Structure 1
């Protein structure tokens, strides 16, 4: 670093409170203005501070549909929650916060500065335009006026922090929305109780930018009275980019005007001015030619207001509250894919990426159970072809990545996403290997139960090879996996109920066959935390619409049969392959059925659409996490994934405060990735190509960053029944564990 004894950086931050810059006296409040004859007026004050520490009658933040709180909303959530499970976060996971545009939802508060809290709906992520923001702000102010007891309301500039709008856009929307409500009051209407809105910003530079934007927007609207200057409250911060802007602005003020040769002063002459001495000290470490160029640019920069400056810090930095996930929304739309991003480190508006449907369909087909060459070369094309350029910088291993998808875009194998690298640069491991990457479906489902698990041991249901062998749906490898998973879960302390094989198949000694009715009984009555299925899956197109489910010898078991579940499983893992595509390969002699039009995704084949279809069905009934394989997996790879996944989930990973489902999926993916060249088969052989890309076949639907809550530990900080000597090592449900058979015929599911 450059040594600057004459002028410390803290001294250069002109308006920032430091030991060298004590806070100045706040300006005197402006004189009260009489109310306008035509209606009420509303005071707006920009506050530099933490929303949760600002006193007001009502605290409000914005809320995107199905997106757990972050940034200011998360701070408010923690302030109003009395326990370790934040209220707004839990209500979001349960689907109780509808968040339609302008809809206000209220929450109870514990004792503290926040006496009443609410969130106003912003609609789906990526849809908040300036026009829609005007509607949202009008709805918010109208609701606050209607309460009748609110005199002051504290909020943030909703939609600008980590949303779609720039500060100037959001400020205009606030002014127009509030102005619309104020104009609706006639001269004879009684004045509303609400007289002041505090717009709080935690970062000092953004607070200044916000004040200027509101002043510009409200200049011609006398009903709104903007308090001059900022009001300072507790909790205000100065984040790294803003601190750098302050320092740069101060340095530019020390530079001589353009054309003046301040550096040519006689070294033996009088001492230079203090500013020049400080600047010389800063530039002393540079080559003289570079130093002069820096001085020239600083002199030009002095003409730019600091509120017009912005810096991007590319180094990895923790978000305000720790490690916030990067949430990206990818929706199919007219002319291409619509992207939006929500991250604690960046404000990224919506982007439209024009995409040729035929090219994307071919890309999805070739990345679904890809050849080794395609698995090596096409991920870079996927990232460049469909990801907006300025979104690509968000795809790093600094944060968990959560993709919100619709039924069309869910068919794309996003697990292959990689960072964009320059030609000749070293190839890095895929993103899903280096960080937690999971999916959420944009759907109408809502969770029907909480994650609080009852006291008692972890309970698991394992189902293997339930298909009818007479129809060619027998999978010996699925039996091997089911028995191995049951043994692993028992060793980890879980109580396991095991069903293997159809009634008319070769029976597994000591293990009940997998009948739909018996499995449904255990699902509805057994209180299972984990369900593991290995077998075939299928689409069923009937007169009532599309249904997806697991294939049993006596029919299809779908999530509709689970609608009466009082407590759905928290985790469902399914190594399931598509019957219409694989039935002939199973030796049935029956040609694969042509896929129905309704079963095809616009971007690929029905195999690619299988996992999203199944995930949607199970998420609708309240399953918290659905993990499925998007194509056939070699038997030993399926077993390796499951064993590594459950070990991490129930015992935790190194350095983790609490295990997460996303962390367990990443660990299991990494194990398959590191072992992709094992198995003794040439890479381009049928089993070799499946082995090479098996890690990418596993898709996780759920919140990757959510801690796994073990039974009896409602705080979410438990690590599951991690000891191997826990209950469940003997017989459960009147069944014997049975002996594991030797590996069956080589195959994949």
Structure 2
């Protein structure tokens, strides 16, 4: 167990931080007496599991576009089948608007949760105490308006991830509930009479009870149960266990104070009501406590002293004295006012809650927000000179060796807020929520900032899973599951017109290698290679748009792998992007009728700069106005986000694309490593994740970046040095890739 070095005052729950500054609200008018008549509401704090509490309606909070975690995930599991999480799927499909105070209901299966709902918290990072008051008022109004709800079970919404402190969220709850009750007529009373505030951790339950008691002192509409109710499913997590252990230890160090009857209080609790012992004073006659563990000569150590000496054994005497002094000071702090961060060894990344960062372009710079398993960082505005950022993006798109080595640290320091930089570690996966503008930034180059002269570590995308999500209209259908028989894949290679300079021999090699590998992994593969007017591959059909579209629409493919050119189609109807075929551009518009979109699309597709403002092939000069459609000087930077957006709209679960040209052999290496790690594991082994497979493929390219072709002077090839960073993954990096049971797989021999 380790904790950051801090003063005792820093451990207090109410201590303002940069993320949670002390709220400054205008004081309520003193002349207004609180309303004493009208409906009231009973609030009961329960130590237990939310989904095991008996209630008519169970509610948690929900951030916009954030997949469920903690209490919301527990509720999702309680109402869902084993194969699919209802709230999670609705989130990924964009069906939960989650505007502040908006309530979304979900059907429930048979079980203790009869009716479930989530209340919108807005975008992550924006929930202040004032906005939380509005949220709670809206929630209570919705529950009362239903008419049949007598008991509602919920959690302290807004404090679960540390966005607000327990006391801040308690004040918001009390203010929102009391405000709504004050707006109701005195009669008839609402049917809803009790709200259960459920907390799974024991210490936080104690903190919640005290926080609500304080927040409702002058609110007669709200009645707080005086005792903590023990439900089922309650736990004691490591930070709380550490606080309880620390509290017990302080009782050993704090001197016992004489009671009015002349007897000493053995556990020192009387010291809370009298003069506190500080600075190492001893209970024995008020003499100073010794600096070391040994009692004064001639005196026997009391039992608690023996225990303390055992605890401190092994420390140098001057350290023991400092520990005693700090323990005595800490003894004056109530355990419910303590909050500790206990960090264990990093668990498997697939099981860790991701660090989710939102980066949106805005007036005057970039707007950031973050949500982690431990805290929510409210929105930050980073003033950024867009001309400098544009130059940085252009130089990191297909960069030189010098730029790829020297500019990532600048990227991290230039655009990432300082308090966000400490979140960029390999303790957990990283998920970046981006808009179309910020998606053009090569975030895969992000590095953990180091002090001047410190050792440089591998880039973040090499040390952990780094994935992206686009703020875009999500799909209208669910992606096909993998447990419905044999896996199917469509592989397309080099479909461009060779007469127009679109022939790519390396794309053919990659398509053939991928098809062979997937067949060896038990996948049924449909392969198209080359245009109809190109050199034919023996035994393989050419890649015509119509034939490919037929297989896409009718084949029910789980995986689609494309190797070739991509481009923009700038026309009067807007700007679209797609894959280049000899007979035209294949875009997601042609795939809009897909009932079951592919789960994974991998596209090693480089920008051609040869298509014009029509739907057909043009010339290299037919690109007028392209710069007007992207804030970046290099259109290549905007290609993969544009393609990902097109395919995510039709329901594709994962889009993996290369943001610039990749050497042929490295494209094959990435694909080979990606599918090897995607299909690894067997019966009884943990299913791999898509993000983990992408990370493994990036790492292989990173480790081999100095190998292979070099310049005449012996310098590494720029294309090979940074190819690992070109691959961008759009989707949930923690998503499991669960293959069908081999026993259910048809014979493919």
Q: Pairwise mapping of residues 600-619 of structure 1 onto structure 2 (< 5 A)? A: 600-601=630-631, 605-619=634-648
CA distance in structure 2 between the partners assigned to 1:89 and 1:331 by the alignment: 23
Identify the match of residue 258 of structure 1 among 278, 284, 289. Answer: 278
Corresponding residue number in structure 2 for 1:208: 206
Kept after mapping to 2: 8 A contact 1:653/1:659: no
Corresponding residue number in structure 1 for 2:368: 339
Q: Does 1:148 align with 2:175?
A: no
Identify the match of residue 599 of structure 1 among 626, 629, 632. Answer: 629
Q: Does 1:69 align with 2:68?
A: yes
Cα offset, 1:307, TM superposition: 3.0
Q: Deviations over 1:466-491 (max 9, x none)?
A: 22223322222112212222222222
CA distance in structure 1 between the partners assigned to 2:346 and 2:564 by the alignment: 44
Q: Deviations over 1:109-148 (max 9, x none)?
A: 3343322222112223233233332222122111111222
SS of corresponding position for 1:348:
strand
Cα separation, partners in 2 of 1:379 and 1:314, compared to 1, 3 Å: farther
Kept after mapping to 2: 8 A contact 1:71/1:321: no
Q: Pairwise mapping of residues 437-476 of structure 1 onto structure 2 (< 5 A)? A: 437-453=466-482, 455-476=484-505
Cα separation, partners in 2 of 1:287 and 1:709, compared to 1, 3 Å: closer
Q: Pick which of 97-106 and 564-573 moved more.
A: 97-106
Q: Pairwise mapping of residues 665-704 of structure 1 onto structure 2 (< 5 A)? A: 665-682=694-711, 688-704=717-733
Kept after mapping to 2: 8 A contact 1:569/1:623: yes
Kept after mapping to 2: 8 A contact 1:51/1:200: yes
Cα offset, 1:656, TM superposition: 5.6
Kept after mapping to 1: 8 A contact 2:480/2:598: no
Kept after mapping to 1: 8 A contact 2:568/2:576: yes
SS of corresponding position for 2:546:
helix
CA distance in structure 2 between the partners assigned to 1:520 and 1:266 by the alignment: 86
Q: Deviations over 1:299-328 (max 9, x none)?
A: 333333333332223443559994322222
SS of corresponding position for 2:669:
helix
Q: Does 1:236 align with 2:263?
A: no
Normalised by the length of structure 1, the TM-score is: 0.85
Cα offset, 1:685, TM superposition: 8.6
Corresponding residue number in structure 1 for 2:166: 167
Q: Deviations over 1:180-216 (max 9, x none)?
A: 22112112x3111111111112222222332333233
Cα offset, 1:440, TM superposition: 0.7
CA distance in structure 1 between the partners assigned to 2:541 and 2:441 by the alignment: 38
Q: Does 1:500 align with 2:500?
A: no
Q: Does 1:299 align with 2:328?
A: yes
Q: Deviations over 1:629-654 (max 9, x none)?
A: 01110000001111221222233499
Q: Pairwise mapping of residues 146-545 of structure 1 onto structure 2 (< 5 A)? A: 146-162=145-161, 164-187=163-186, 189-253=187-251, 254-256=253-255, 257-259=277-279, 260=281, 261-263=288-290, 267-316=296-345, 318=347, 322-453=351-482, 455-545=484-574
CA distance in structure 2 between the partners assigned to 1:459 and 1:291 by the alignment: 66
SS of corresponding position for 1:568:
coil
SS of corresponding position for 1:659:
coil
Corresponding residue number in structure 2 for 1:125: 124
Q: Specify every segment of 5 or more residues in structure 2 that has no aligned partner in the other structure, as ranges.
A: 2-33, 256-276, 282-287, 613-617
Q: Pick which of 70-79 and 233-242 moved more.
A: 233-242
Corresponding residue number in structure 1 for 2:79: 80
Corresponding residue number in structure 2 for 1:102: 101
CA distance in structure 1 between the partners assigned to 2:656 and 2:97 by the alignment: 26
Q: Pick which of 651-660 and 668-677 moved more.
A: 651-660
CA distance in structure 1 between the partners assigned to 2:609 and 2:80 by the alignment: 50
CA distance in structure 1 between the partners assigned to 2:668 and 2:64 by the alignment: 37
Q: Pairwise mapping of residues 543-582 of structure 1 onto structure 2 (< 5 A)? A: 543-580=572-609
Normalised by the length of structure 2, the TM-score is: 0.85
Cα offset, 1:179, TM superposition: 1.9
CA distance in structure 2 between the partners assigned to 1:58 and 1:171 by the alignment: 20
Cα separation, partners in 2 of 1:297 and 1:246, compared to 1, 3 Å: same
SS of corresponding position for 1:74:
helix
SS of corresponding position for 1:120:
strand
Kept after mapping to 2: 8 A contact 1:708/1:719: no
Q: Pick which of 72-81 and 210-219 moved more.
A: 210-219
Cα offset, 1:508, TM superposition: 2.5
Cα separation, partners in 2 of 1:243 and 1:595, compared to 1, 3 Å: farther
Corresponding residue number in structure 2 for 1:640: 669
Corresponding residue number in structure 2 for 1:49: 48
Corresponding residue number in structure 1 for 2:88: 89
CA distance in structure 2 between the partners assigned to 1:113 and 1:334 by the alignment: 48
CA distance in structure 2 between the partners assigned to 1:357 and 1:467 by the alignment: 36
Query: How many residue pairs end up in the alignment?
Result: 682
CA distance in structure 2 between the partners assigned to 1:606 and 1:328 by the alignment: 25
Kept after mapping to 2: 8 A contact 1:494/1:727: no
CA distance in structure 2 between the partners assigned to 1:618 and 1:139 by the alignment: 36
Q: Deviations over 1:364-406 (max 9, x none)?
A: 2222112222222222222233223333333232322211111
CA distance in structure 2 between the partners assigned to 1:357 and 1:629 by the alignment: 24
Cα offset, 1:354, TM superposition: 3.0
Kept after mapping to 2: 8 A contact 1:162/1:348: no
Kept after mapping to 2: 8 A contact 1:141/1:181: yes
CA distance in structure 2 between the partners assigned to 1:327 and 1:546 by the alignment: 29
CA distance in structure 2 between the partners assigned to 1:392 and 1:460 by the alignment: 40
Corresponding residue number in structure 2 for 1:32: none
Q: Deviations over 1:4-24 (max 9, x none)?
A: xxxxxxxxxxxxxxxxxxxxx
CA distance in structure 2 between the partners assigned to 1:479 and 1:348 by the alignment: 47
Q: Does 1:622 align with 2:669?
A: no
Q: Pick which of 222-231 and 159-168 moved more.
A: 159-168
Kept after mapping to 2: 8 A contact 1:501/1:514: yes
Cα offset, 1:226, TM superposition: 1.8
Cα offset, 1:447, TM superposition: 4.4
Q: Pick which of 651-660 and 55-64 moved more.
A: 651-660
